Structure formats: C-alpha cells, structure tokens
Amino acid sequence: MKQMSDQLDLTVDGEGSTADGRNALLEIRNLRKRFGGIDAVDGIGFDIEPATITGLIGPNGAGKSTTFNLITGVYRPDGGTVRFAGEDVTGFRPNQLAKRGLVRTFQITRELNEMTVLENMLLAFKGQLGEQLYRSVLPVLRREVVEQEHELLASVWEILELFELDHLAHEEAGTLSGGQRKLLELSRALLTNPEMLLLDEPMAGVNPSLEQHLLERIHELHGEGYTFLLVEHDMNVIMEHCERVIVMHQGQILADGSPAEIQQNEAVIEAYLGGEV
C-alpha cells in the first residue's frame, strides 16, 4: 500500500505542501484519529482553494466520514491540524466552526423532524436578536425580535422558492421525502451564510430529477463563490461535477487530482476493484 503510493506522483503525503502561493481556505495537515486500535484516519493532509468543488471519495471504511467529522468538530482529532481561513480551528466544536463559516450537512439527514420547514429554516440564521433570552421575553425588546422574525422570514421564502420547497413550508420536516430533506438541509445550511459547505453524500436517496435540481443549485452557488467539499458514492456525480477529486483508502490519501487523472490512476482502480484488504 505504502510502496504503491510512493510510486505515484499524484499522492499527497501527510505533510502536503501548501498550495503554490495561493491562500487555501481549508488546510488539513497530518490529521489522525484512532478507534479501538484501528487508524480510521492516518495522517492525511490536503488544501481546499476558495470557490472550488472538491470531491472526497473512497471505498467503504476508507475514512471519509471520519475525516468529515474531524474537520467539523464532531470528533476531536488525535493529531494534526485543521486551519480554516487562516485560523487554527483544530478541535473546535461544531458551533464554533459554523460561526466561522464552515458548515456541513449529514449523510443521514438531520433535519429537525418535529419542526416545520419554516422553523428549520428560521433556526439557521446567525446571531438572531431573539436568541438572547431576555430580548425574547421582555415586553419592549420583544418588538424588535418580532420585527426581525418578519425580515428573516422574507429571506426564508426567497430561498424556499429557489429550492422549490415553498409549497412544503408548513410541513413538519419529518414528513418530507429523502430528497426533499437533502434540499432542506442544503438550503438551511445556506442561511447560516457559510464560506464553505461540507456535504456528506448529498445525493444518497435522492431521485434523479431532484438530483439534477440539487446539482444545479450547487453549481449556481459555486458560481457565487461558495466553496464545496463533498463526500459522494455516486462516481458520475463526482467525475462530472467536481473540479478536483481526493481519493481515500484505509485512512490515507491514495490519490489527488482532476477527475480525468483519477480515472486513469491504477492505484485507485486497484483500491476499488481489488476489494477490501
């Protein structure tokens, strides 16, 4: 495994070089996580440039989800660093990261079941006045909170229309279909005003027409300058829509390059076809 990757010039080792002069938005260095004696993530490193769409792929158990969880603060890394927009954010909690503009969605959508689509969306805005308890309960101050709610609601309707979810606004999120939930999660994440979005299998369980819809939205947002990192099983999605693909295998980075390069890469083919070790 190690020797194999040594032969590949595509391989980025643990101490990956900083991208030539340009400022990376997300910099991962030598990230490690062990679970019960197994190196789930074994010293990986890569950079993500602003306004790019990068795909993270790999066979089952390659460590993609763990990597996501390490970057977004769900797990605390055993070693290595995560830098976001120049700041060392290693071991930060998810809420601290989200405040800085690093927002994720989940493989199994975590929409808030008993909350309506509108509630789900309203929740996402950062720094709402009414998040301060005293403002929400005190007579005069509450007026500002109510005003702000009306303003926020206007932007919610805009996004809901863009994502064609407006007809579901009053439904409880738990009653939505799988694809609608993915849309809800993505649109909700957008309302946090993120710099970068980490999407964990955004297409899983989404029917083809909705998948197209979702991908269009992602490209639109990419055009507006949002940065995407996505884990995805669907090779077509990755190869057609990502500018760059990172391949993980057994907790390490096996290959890193353009979709065309990855498709030619023997180690990658080996890893996918050669079966699990």
Partner 1 sequence: MTADDGGRLSSLAKYVPGFLTASDDRPRWLDDLRLILLATAVVYLTFILLGLIGGLSINGITRELQAVTLLSASIALVVLALNLHWGYTGLFNIGIAGFMAVGAYTTAMVTASPDARIPGLGLSLWIGIPAGMIAAALVGFIVALPALRLRADYFAIVTLAAAEVIRRLYNSSSLDQFELFGIALGTGSGRGIRDFPNIRNTVSRHILYADPGGPSDPYPWGQLLFTIGEEFDLIAFVIERIVYTLFIIVLVILVFVLLTRTANSPFGRILKAIREDELATKSLGKNTNRVKIKAFMLGCAIMGLAGIVWQGSRGNVTPDLFMPIITFYIFIALIIGGSGSNAGGVVGAVLFAGLLFDGPPMVERAVNNLVDLPRTNTMNDALIGLANLDPEVFFGYVMVQMSSLRFMLFGIVLILLMIYRPDGVLGHRNEPAAAIDLRKQQAPDHEETNEVDETDE
State which of residues 113, 175, 263, 264 lies at the interface with partner 1 (CB under 8 A).
Answer: 113
Please, what is the minimum distance in Å from the beta carbon of residue 174 to partner 1? 9
What value does the CA radius of gyration of the chain take, rounded to a whole number of Å?
20
**92 belongs to the binding site for partner 1 (CB under 8 A):** no
Q: Which is nearer to partner 1, 133 or 277 (CB)?
A: 133
User: Which tokens sit at 91?
Assistant: 């071991």
**161 belongs to the binding site for partner 1 (CB under 8 A):** yes
Asked if residues 152 and 125 have their Cβ atoms less than 8 Å apart, the reply is yes
Q: Quick one: which segment of 129-137, 218-226, 230-238, 249-257 binds partner 1 (CB under 8 A)? A: 129-137
Q: What are phi and psi of 247, to 5 degrees?
A: -105, 125
Give CA–CA dist 37/124, Å, rounded.
Answer: 38
State which of residues 157, 195, 215, 258 lies at the interface with partner 1 (CB under 8 A).
Answer: 157
Residues 179-218 touching partner 1, rule: CB under 8 A, are 179-180, 188-189, 192, 205-207, 209-210, 213
State which of residues 8, 51, 159, 169 lies at the interface with partner 1 (CB under 8 A).
Answer: 169
**76 belongs to the binding site for partner 1 (CB under 8 A):** no
Q: Quick one: which segment of 25-33, 50-58, 108-116, 255-263 binds partner 1 (CB under 8 A)? A: 108-116
* Residue located via tokens 């490193």: 45
The side-by-side arrangement of strands in the sheet containing 227-231 is 102-104, 196-200, 227-231, 53-57, 244-249, 252-257
- What angle (nearest 5°) sits at the alpha carbon of residue 183, between those of residues 178 and 189? 125
* Residue located via tokens 């005069």: 140
Give CA–CA dist 119/150, Å, rounded.
Answer: 13
Residues in the chain: 277
Q: DSSP for 237-257, please give it.
A: HHHHH-SEEEEEETTEEEEEE
Q: Which is nearer to partner 1, 67 or 252 (CB)?
A: 67
State which of residues 114, 140, 224, 277 lies at the interface with partner 1 (CB under 8 A).
Answer: 114
Q: Which residues contact partner 1 (rule: CB under 8 A)? A: 72, 74, 93-95, 97-99, 103-104, 106, 110-116, 118-119, 122-124, 126, 128-133, 136-137, 142, 145-146, 149-150, 153-154, 157, 160-161, 164, 166-167, 169-170, 172, 177-180, 188-189, 192, 205-207, 209-210, 213
